[in-house]
Amino acid sequence: MSDSSPSIILRDCLAKARAGDPLARDRLFAACRSYLGLLARASVEPWMQAKIDASDLVQQTMLDAHRDFQHFQGQTDQEWLGWLRQILNHNACDAARHYGVAGKRAARREVPMAGIDNSGSVANMFEPQSPGGSPSQMAINHETELLLAEAMDQLPDDYREVIILRNIQRLPFETVAEQMQRTRAATQMLWMRAIQKLKSLLSVPGVSGISGAIQ
């Protein structure tokens, strides 16, 4: 893992921000925006999108975290990301209750992302991490989450959407095609191209923290 890895950047910014450096605090939050954006988009299922905007969830989460920053008691970047996830999940639940959709909301949206399997599927993006995982393995998982979120943010909108619907929200291709107003065949082709593009972004030089997930 290089000195410029997302986890190391987060740890450095977190330490400086807690020491009172306002610029480091701004960098800390900026470094997490893509991560929160992907989590928020994953939490807003298609039938919720007309009433709940993922970008609004991110904005509210950032505002809440800024406001309550002094109450954050963790010491590591993993704890920091977990704290942000809790705030985001709380805001998503509040929004769902406000619009009367709480009963339908899937609780699995709060679990973390992982990697890409050998078939090209991002099948483990939102599977729970093993509670018995070692600290080093947990660090690698969080590094992967950050890299994956950054790569997803670079995808064209339709590529990002098809991966979120198919791999994160686990919708069948028929439903994904309906949501995206395409034929099933066109949707499957789009998905394959999106996965290949995502894998190419994750395998660029210097992105070593996730390379083992896409071999």
Token pair in block for residue 180? 């995206």
- Return all residues near 121 (Cβ < 8 A) that are at least 6 apart: 167, 195
Structure confidence at residue 144 (pLDDT): 78
pLDDT in tens, 153-167: 999 999 999 999 998
Domain with CATH 1.10.1740.10 in the chain: 1-110
Query: How many angstroms separate the CA atoms of 145 and 140, rounded?
Result: 9
Q: Higher pLDDT residue, 140 or 144?
A: 144
For the domain spanning 111-215, the CATH number is 1.10.10.10
Give mean pLDDT, residues 16-38: 93
Could you tell me if 156 and 198 are in contact, meaning their C-beta atoms sit under 8 angstroms apart?
Answer: no
3-state secondary structure at position 22: helix
Structure confidence at residue 12 (pLDDT): 92
pLDDT-derived band at 132 (thresholds 50, 70, 90) equals very low
Domain with CATH 1.10.10.10 in the chain: 111-215
For the domain spanning 1-110, the CATH number is 1.10.1740.10
Q: How far is CA 137 from CA 61, 154, 175, in A?
A: 27, 26, 35
3-state secondary structure at position 156: coil
In the predicted model, is pLDDT for residue 120 greater than 80? Answer: no
